Structure 1
């Protein structure tokens, strides 16, 4: 139950729903208990009146007695019916308070978890798969919702009903009440033993469900690869294995759950036997009436469903505790990308790297080592290097998706760590190496991240990225809906749309991370010529493995194994006969071939 303490803040927020729900539960149970007393009065009336009624057999008085007797029984029946109707009304109100409260809490919890996910650093998402993230915000939150909704409702109902019924039973006969409650310690022990088993198996099920969700998500995201390699049967067999494990674990939990009902029914049956046996003796001794025995049997039967629901409620509470524990694991994760000063500053665009070193926290790979670089305001710098040289890491650091392990980065001579993260990112444009587009229209993908952007700016950004003619060919134009991850477009079109999205924001610093790798040389020249105007008076960092992408740069930096090996203009680097010239000549020969 420690994990569920996190939910107390939501219960306090919606306390009036809970308070009213509890009041309605008490009232509904009162209307549920009163009919048992009316049945006792009616039964005793029948037994007490029957002998007297027979004494006046054949007389006019007997007819009058019958009328009074029939009216009394009818009155009791109508009262019982009225009580049932009132109980139903208040049960409806119970659901309209406690169940509605649970839906509000579910809504708030999902929003809080999602919001917290977005504050976490990129390293968190590199070390946790998407399926696990989805399972915790969907399945786990749903399990928690059942705890603060139905489970809490049935739990309150059991406590209230138990208190009321036991109070009435004690007021009638303490001895008979004692024997009726005799099986309860055995019930408590059974619940305790089975709960520990439920908790363990619930955690295993949730972990298995996360694995299953991850497998399905990866399978459908990579469906084209699966089809290309004719691995549908292999993928399906792997899914069957995952599903079989989930089924077996779920059946194991179901078997444990199934112990509750036979045990509870056995204990309820034992209570009924004790009522009849002990109550019969009390009737013989003149301490009770047959109506009291009927009343006690009705009380025990009233407790049957809540006590039977105790097993389900306990199971759901344990499952919710397991789910909330998993949710808390991520909620307790804190972002390292914080700013104590929260500087909000209109960027001019100068960038300084001072002895920057970086190791990826999840893999421990050293991507940069003793990296020093000064980029002036409005300067365009191309960073070239082979795969694994640390180029993309520089882009991640400039976007502050990570903080350097060593050294520091300064923007306009202010440490990047001092900037308000969101205020800083709003002033930069970033085109990632791995293009990601949303399942939305082309227009909304271009305007993503900007509010109230004029259509003219969207259109100009599309023209600058050499995508305008492609969009005109689409029947719906800018309203064309893209599939998942932009699957509607080709690789080159996706990269150009991603460039449009970055330059439409009119950023102070533009970062292009190998964003022209999927376009041909001719298209690359068109885009670069268009970008020449955009890069004017704007600090730009062009990251690429292709030398041709660096022709607009004021300065070229060559990286190798996380270190700068050369830097200068194109003529200067060619004159050095070093790494840049070797890379240039290799790519030139490749293009000629």
Structure 2
């Protein structure tokens, strides 16, 4: 996933966040309103302290009444402090949730070609840590507004009490603003670099965990450890760069407000001694100045959070700005139900200049089955990916029941066409939930019926908890044949008009292949089926066979016919048998070594 060369904040990246903030204006306004009430409570306390000192300590009034009022003001302030933070956090979490939902929806809408190139760790980082950075900034919005309001009100009060002393107290303010501006400019590229390196680290971790069997199988733990160490060192280096920038600027934010406080104590104390100022007024003035210290110090923090949020928003915008290539038409046609398939002069390549299919033509009558056979790289699986509309052809058309796929909604295409992948992926969930994965509203009877059609019901009943058995991540607790039968059941829950079995027996031991073939024959009965296979036993199940070479159909007929008259067909089957034999020998050696 490429990174933009610019290190300056992007205004366009803020548009989605601003749109969400406008949508939540009422909640944010509530947070600001609570913050303003908090400010009024804070402002009242020094005035009550001033009156208590001047009228009870230096005067004749009782201090108990003033103490009670001060305690009441403190209670009100504390209550609004809690309310302010609660509203701020609730609104920020709502923004985070909506952004996360929008990002995930967009990622799922992006074409498969994008996912072929994108790193999973990079997408995970954007959907997790980057959105956390945005949430941390949003929570600061109502807090910062109330802090700024506090600064404005306290400044007005200070000038009304003693303009001369107020000037000395606020001398550091312009320097704080200059420091904040410089800090903002310098910290942005550093923060962006940190977040990019964190995403790279997430990629290494994700690949290591997802491929743990390969890592262990090759004894490659040290290799992955070195990759992790390299990425961790990169994070450390860029984090230290960001820390050096903070170390140069944030102490200034700590120091400057204290200078104003020192000036107030010195000059104000002198005025009290000379009788130009009452003691209570000096104490109140000093409390007000102390109130400014924290809001002024948080300027740097707010700027830092804003820069992190900007970097995160830019990274999220890199994904959100990608335009999906596979989209619904403006006026979609009804969902096909018969299952007639037609490829008409289709040309397609993952790289447009290197076509995988070129002049590909194929007609399949409803309810019939076709086996697509060809050597490795001939485009067999590409036919399946085009029919389920993972991609659109660069030339020609693909139709279901006479309707071009591009005139159907993507959802209707994928409800009409079921696909059993060569690489079966099951989720860490129950067997029943995996079968009903795309149709969670399916009844237990529908799930069981699909399992029976797929030949999976018997072994599922033998599992510890039947259909409620948790099968573990990726389904590795089951055998290859069991996983494949669950995958077949999953594909037929929606009763698709067309079923594609993409090398559904390739990952199964040849001695166990008959179990999958039995399930396939039941499912194929009366249903338009495309079987992509290389084993003769599976191919022979189809009504007809098409041989694919050089991106087009070069032979078409029954299995026995092609076997008799097509040398290339015999060569493809022979190569497949040899590969299976070598695989079986390798498995035997492995088992013997075990």
After superposition, the Cα gap between the structure-2 partners of 1:374 and 1:473, relative to the gap in structure 1 and judged at 3 Å, is same
1:486 has 2:471 as partner: no
Distance 1:266 1:452 in 2: 62
Match in the other structure for 1:366: 355
- SS of 1:138 mapped into structure 2: helix
1:349-428 equivalent positions in 2, closer than 5 A: 349-360=339-350, 365-428=354-417
Distance 2:381 2:507 in 1: 16
Distance 1:587 1:237 in 2: 38
1:534-545 equivalent positions in 2, closer than 5 A: 534-545=523-534
Distance 1:261 1:451 in 2: 53
Q: Which runs of 5+ in 1 are unaligned?
A: 50-67
**Per-residue deviation, 1:316:** 0.8
Distance 2:492 2:169 in 1: 78
Q: Deviations over 1:198-247 (max 9, x none)?
A: 21111111111111111111111111222222222332232222222223
**Per-residue deviation, 1:364:** 6.4
The counterpart of 2:38, out of the listed 14, 28, 48, is 28
Q: Deviations over 1:26-81 (max 9, x none)?
A: 121112122222333344447855xxxxxxxxxxxxxxxxxx34x1x333222222
Match in the other structure for 1:6: 16
Aligned length: 571
After superposition, the Cα gap between the structure-2 partners of 1:214 and 1:190, relative to the gap in structure 1 and judged at 3 Å, is same
1:128-527 equivalent positions in 2, closer than 5 A: 128-149=118-139, 151-279=140-268, 287-338=276-327, 339-360=329-350, 365-527=354-516
Q: Is the 8 A contact 1:341 1:420 kept in 2?
A: no
**Per-residue deviation, 1:389:** 1.2
**Per-residue deviation, 1:82:** 1.6
Match in the other structure for 2:585: none
- SS of 2:232 mapped into structure 1: helix
Distance 1:530 1:75 in 2: 87
After superposition, the Cα gap between the structure-2 partners of 1:364 and 1:41, relative to the gap in structure 1 and judged at 3 Å, is farther
Match in the other structure for 2:5: none
Distance 1:177 1:501 in 2: 74
**Per-residue deviation, 1:173:** 2.3
Q: Is the 8 A contact 1:157 1:306 kept in 2?
A: no
Q: Is the 8 A contact 1:257 1:312 kept in 2?
A: no
Bigger drift between 531-540 and 383-392 goes to: 531-540
**Per-residue deviation, 1:147:** 1.1
Distance 1:558 1:145 in 2: 55
Distance 1:212 1:588 in 2: 42
Q: Deviations over 1:320-367 (max 9, x none)?
A: 111111112211222111223221223211111111111215x96532
1:24-63 equivalent positions in 2, closer than 5 A: 24-45=34-55, 49=59
**Per-residue deviation, 1:296:** 2.4
Match in the other structure for 1:65: none
Compare CA radii of gyration and give the structure with the larger one: 1
| CA root-mean-square deviation | 2.4
**Per-residue deviation, 1:136:** 0.9
After superposition, the Cα gap between the structure-2 partners of 1:418 and 1:544, relative to the gap in structure 1 and judged at 3 Å, is same
After superposition, the Cα gap between the structure-2 partners of 1:283 and 1:479, relative to the gap in structure 1 and judged at 3 Å, is closer
Q: TM-score, normalised by structure 2?
A: 0.90
Bigger drift between 11-20 and 38-47 goes to: 38-47
After superposition, the Cα gap between the structure-2 partners of 1:287 and 1:114, relative to the gap in structure 1 and judged at 3 Å, is same
**Per-residue deviation, 1:253:** 2.2
Distance 1:485 1:587 in 2: 27
**Per-residue deviation, 1:404:** 0.8
Match in the other structure for 1:584: 573
Match in the other structure for 1:93: 83
Q: Is the 8 A contact 2:32 2:143 kept in 1?
A: no
After superposition, the Cα gap between the structure-2 partners of 1:225 and 1:592, relative to the gap in structure 1 and judged at 3 Å, is closer
**Per-residue deviation, 1:7:** 1.6
After superposition, the Cα gap between the structure-2 partners of 1:130 and 1:364, relative to the gap in structure 1 and judged at 3 Å, is farther
**Per-residue deviation, 1:457:** 4.3
Q: Deviations over 1:139-160 (max 9, x none)?
A: 11111111111x2133112211
- SS of 2:478 mapped into structure 1: coil
Match in the other structure for 1:17: 27
After superposition, the Cα gap between the structure-2 partners of 1:365 and 1:212, relative to the gap in structure 1 and judged at 3 Å, is farther
Match in the other structure for 1:56: none
Distance 1:242 1:592 in 2: 42
Bigger drift between 457-466 and 429-438 goes to: 457-466
Bigger drift between 461-470 and 34-43 goes to: 461-470
Q: Deviations over 1:70-95 (max 9, x none)?
A: x1x33322222221111001112212
After superposition, the Cα gap between the structure-2 partners of 1:154 and 1:259, relative to the gap in structure 1 and judged at 3 Å, is farther
Distance 2:401 2:27 in 1: 53
**Per-residue deviation, 1:417:** 0.2
Q: Is the 8 A contact 1:466 1:523 kept in 2?
A: no
Distance 1:122 1:248 in 2: 35
Q: TM-score, normalised by structure 1?
A: 0.90
Q: Is the 8 A contact 1:21 1:97 kept in 2?
A: yes
**Per-residue deviation, 1:283:** 5.4
After superposition, the Cα gap between the structure-2 partners of 1:284 and 1:447, relative to the gap in structure 1 and judged at 3 Å, is closer
Q: Deviations over 1:507-564 (max 9, x none)?
A: 2101111111122445433433443343233211111222332112222111224232
Bigger drift between 278-287 and 128-137 goes to: 278-287
Q: Is the 8 A contact 2:122 2:200 kept in 1?
A: yes
Q: Is the 8 A contact 1:154 1:313 kept in 2?
A: no
Match in the other structure for 1:53: none
Q: Is the 8 A contact 2:454 2:522 kept in 1?
A: no
Distance 2:195 2:296 in 1: 27
**Per-residue deviation, 1:277:** 4.3
